[in-house]
Structure 1
Amino acid sequence: MCESCVDRIFSSGPAPCPVAGCHKTLRKAKFRKQTFEDIGVEREVDIRRRVMQILNRREEEFATKRAYDDFLEQREMIIANLVHGTDVAKTETDLQRYAQENLSSIRANQALEAQEATTFQERQTLEQEQARLRREAARQEYENERRELLAGREDVLSRLAAGRAGDAAAIAREGQRVLLKKSSARRSEEERIRQKQAVLRGSELRKGVAAPTTAGITGAPDSGLVKGLKKIEVPVPDKPYDPFGGLVPDKRDYYTLQEHYPSTYLDPIRQDTRMLAGGYDLREYYSRTLLEAFAGLGCFLDEELSESGSLDASKPVATQGAAMAAATSGGNASKA
């Protein structure tokens, strides 16, 4: 449609399409200037742009390269169906369902694409600025060389005019040597500056033009339309820091320490200020006594020896000396 017809029909708001048989509602904001001469190419570009904004999965999101290639082929088939009018209703339904189920991953990938575009533009601007600086440096270098050459020639001419006729050759050689020395020093300094600029340029590119990653992208793997996505692993939150490594202070498995135990021997000490004045605490005595009493309840020698393999669990646990003493005592008993 021409621009005047668009202004005339849709300036007051949305209106039905004026084409006979088309019942779509159109809006003025959706119209834009035609870029390609063929309207079919223009329509395919619009469809391709819309589909690729929804199906914008990246290669690093797939488990294999084959899965990513299958995704690209599937996306091209969807575009072809919409362009040629094949199963349009089903294709649009699948696209809308996929867009609703994977909204977070779509937005994340769009943000990454925008970041990549910004990074590329910054890199292009940086390269253009560096090319301009190199051209400016080359022009300045040419001007400096020409100025030094003219100054050297004028110095040689002035010295020749003021000197004797026999000194002409020596003055010319000296002037040539001075020019060569200056040119060599200038070239070495310029080479050092170029190397320094190259190092700085590389560090800036590594720092400011870092490749974006897909960290933080979430979504349902194999969400019905796209297959072969990597499984999303939700990181396990870190547990609170435990300085004792799970050990609970003053916790015992076989007993609970009480504040007081009745005892005819300890009760007088509890009331004796001479014993308590130096810091003596009966709880320490209770804790040590109970710990020694229950210390061996968790030790099972037969199981530990059988697991270590040092002794056979079916045989009685006895030392060689005990066995010999038992045999000797048994022999003496039989003689008696």
Structure 2
Amino acid sequence: MDGISRSEDEVCPICKLDTYMNPSMRFLINTECYHKMCESCVDKIYSQGPAPCPYPSCGKTLRKNRFKRQLFSDVRVEREVDVRKRVAKVFNRRQEEFASLKDYNDYLEEVETAIFNLVNKVDVEATEARLEAYEAANAQAIAANASLQSREAENAKLMQNLEEERRRQQRTSALEESLAEQELKREVERKVIKELATAKEGEAESAVRKAFAAAQKTVQLKKSSARRSGRQTPAVSFEDTALSMIQSKSATNATRDDLPYDPLEGEEYINDLYTVRDHYYDPFLDNIENSQQAIASGFGVKNVYEQVLFEAFLGLGCLIENEKSRHDAVVAN
């Protein structure tokens, strides 16, 4: 151990063993005196029943079932939290039980006084006697309020689970809508480009309308399939999209960025997580976008930016533990 400094947290004050020699060592404290010792010492001293605390000048009788892991690094904070939990189980009246706000504030002051006395060891015996007397006199009301708090906690947990499920379904729906939107838009673009490739001069609008009619038939089939599966396919204004291509640029130079595309009708999925810039530094995408093949096919690099950011931010708000539980349940079945 030469040259290695050891803090009190690393050495058991009873057996003098440390975490350097035993990395798996765990320290426990007892709520009677909050003196710390290792788990092995607790087993050796208290496995046969109650025994005095081995700390010098303590002398309190400890029981094994009262030992626990320390949650806070400062034992004073640990002790105050435990005192507050204990007092709150007795003084558990609610504001609606009082005739006025002043009466409720006086009650809270009495509770805080009891907590202060127990934490700072002021009039401990008198405070303990007052707690016992209050608990005996109000046992029925204390039990009723404890039951009510338990039901409220269960309801809060249920609401949390429902909210988590709603968010999960919302993320799934948003992803499905995004994929369906992109697929339908590509279908229109493919048909428009195909028709324009063989259209004669001056027949561009007629060719677009013909392409729109063919794409619309495909969309209707997808909508029918989605309704049968219980999903809603986003409604897309294909005709306006295609005609805007002709009006804004010639069809051979049109790109996806030129399409004033309105993918949804009714309630819209609003993105408030990020902003898509018009351009990011990416030589690979820049070379593709400027190629003749990309221009002819209607490729737009901004759509790539949107998709990548959408997928990157899709997991926000996702509760990993719940997703892992669902995955483990599926694997188990």
**Smaller-chain TM-score range?**
0.5 to 0.7
Q: What does 1:162-177 align with in structure 2 at a 5 Å threshold?
A: 163-172=199-208, 175=211
- Identify unmatched segments of 5+ residues in structure 2: 1-36, 217-235, 242-260, 269-333
Task: Tell me which residue corresponds to 1:83.
Answer: 119
The reply to whether residue 153 of structure 1 matches residue 153 of structure 2 is: no
Measured after TM superposition, the shift of residue 159 of structure 1 is 2.7
Task: Tell me which residue corresponds to 1:37.
Answer: 73
Measured after TM superposition, the shift of residue 75 of structure 1 is 0.3
Q: In the aligned structure 2, how far is the partner of 1:78 from the partner of 1:45?
A: 13
Relative to structure 1, is the Cα distance of residues 139 and 129 closer, same or farther in structure 2, using a 3 angstrom cutoff? same
Relative to structure 1, is the Cα distance of residues 45 and 23 closer, same or farther in structure 2, using a 3 angstrom cutoff? same
Q: In the aligned structure 1, how far is the partner of 2:149 from the partner of 2:175?
A: 39
Q: In the aligned structure 2, how far is the partner of 1:19 from the partner of 1:74?
A: 34
Measured after TM superposition, the shift of residue 126 of structure 1 is 1.4
When normalised by structure 1's length, the TM-score is 0.52
Relative to structure 1, is the Cα distance of residues 145 and 135 closer, same or farther in structure 2, using a 3 angstrom cutoff? same
Q: In the aligned structure 2, how far is the partner of 1:188 from the partner of 1:31?
A: 61
Q: In the aligned structure 1, how far is the partner of 2:179 from the partner of 2:192?
A: 20
The reply to whether residue 135 of structure 1 matches residue 171 of structure 2 is: yes
Task: Tell me which residue corresponds to 2:143.
Answer: 107
Which amino acid in 1 is paired with 2:46?
F
Measured after TM superposition, the shift of residue 5 of structure 1 is 1.2
Q: In the aligned structure 2, how far is the partner of 1:171 from the partner of 1:111?
A: 72
Measured after TM superposition, the shift of residue 139 of structure 1 is 1.4
Secondary structure of residue in 2 paired with 1:22: coil
Task: Tell me which residue corresponds to 1:313.
Answer: none
Measured after TM superposition, the shift of residue 174 of structure 1 is 6.0
Q: In the aligned structure 2, how far is the partner of 1:175 from the partner of 1:162?
A: 12
Task: Tell me which residue corresponds to 1:187.
Answer: 264
Task: Tell me which residue corresponds to 1:195.
Answer: none
**Aligned partner of 1:19 among 50, 55, 58:** 55
Task: Tell me which residue corresponds to 2:314.
Answer: none
Task: Tell me which residue corresponds to 2:92.
Answer: 56
- Identify unmatched segments of 5+ residues in structure 1: 192-336
Measured after TM superposition, the shift of residue 124 of structure 1 is 1.6
Larger Rg: 1
Q: In the aligned structure 2, how far is the partner of 1:40 from the partner of 1:155?
A: 73
Which amino acid in 2 is paired with 1:85?
K
Which amino acid in 2 is paired with 1:11?
S
Q: In the aligned structure 2, how far is the partner of 1:89 from the partner of 1:122?
A: 42
Q: In the aligned structure 2, how far is the partner of 1:147 from the partner of 1:190?
A: 20
Q: Which has the higher contact order (CA 8 A, sep 6+)?
A: 1
Q: In the aligned structure 1, how far is the partner of 2:123 from the partner of 2:198?
A: 98
Task: Tell me which residue corresponds to 2:7.
Answer: none
Deviation string 1:151-188 (CA, Å, 9 cap, x unpaired) is 11122233334544442233236657965158999733
Which amino acid in 1 is paired with 2:203?
D
Task: Tell me which residue corresponds to 1:197.
Answer: none
Task: Tell me which residue corresponds to 1:2.
Answer: 38
Q: In the aligned structure 2, how far is the partner of 1:152 from the partner of 1:158?
A: 10
Relative to structure 1, is the Cα distance of residues 148 and 140 closer, same or farther in structure 2, using a 3 angstrom cutoff? same
Secondary structure of residue in 2 paired with 1:187: coil
Q: In the aligned structure 2, how far is the partner of 1:89 from the partner of 1:190?
A: 64
Q: In the aligned structure 2, how far is the partner of 1:22 from the partner of 1:153?
A: 83
Secondary structure of residue in 2 paired with 1:32: strand
Q: What does 1:283-298 align with in structure 2 at a 5 Å threshold?
A: none
Task: Tell me which residue corresponds to 1:125.
Answer: 161
When normalised by structure 2's length, the TM-score is 0.52
Measured after TM superposition, the shift of residue 34 of structure 1 is 0.5
Task: Tell me which residue corresponds to 2:315.
Answer: none
Secondary structure of residue in 1 paired with 2:69: coil
Q: In the aligned structure 2, how far is the partner of 1:161 from the partner of 1:154?
A: 11
- Please tell me the root mean square deviation across aligned C-alpha atoms, in Å: 2.5
- Partners of 2:188 and 2:211 within 8 A in 1: yes
- Partners of 2:188 and 2:238 within 8 A in 1: no
Which amino acid in 2 is paired with 1:97?
A
Q: In the aligned structure 2, how far is the partner of 1:174 from the partner of 1:142?
A: 26
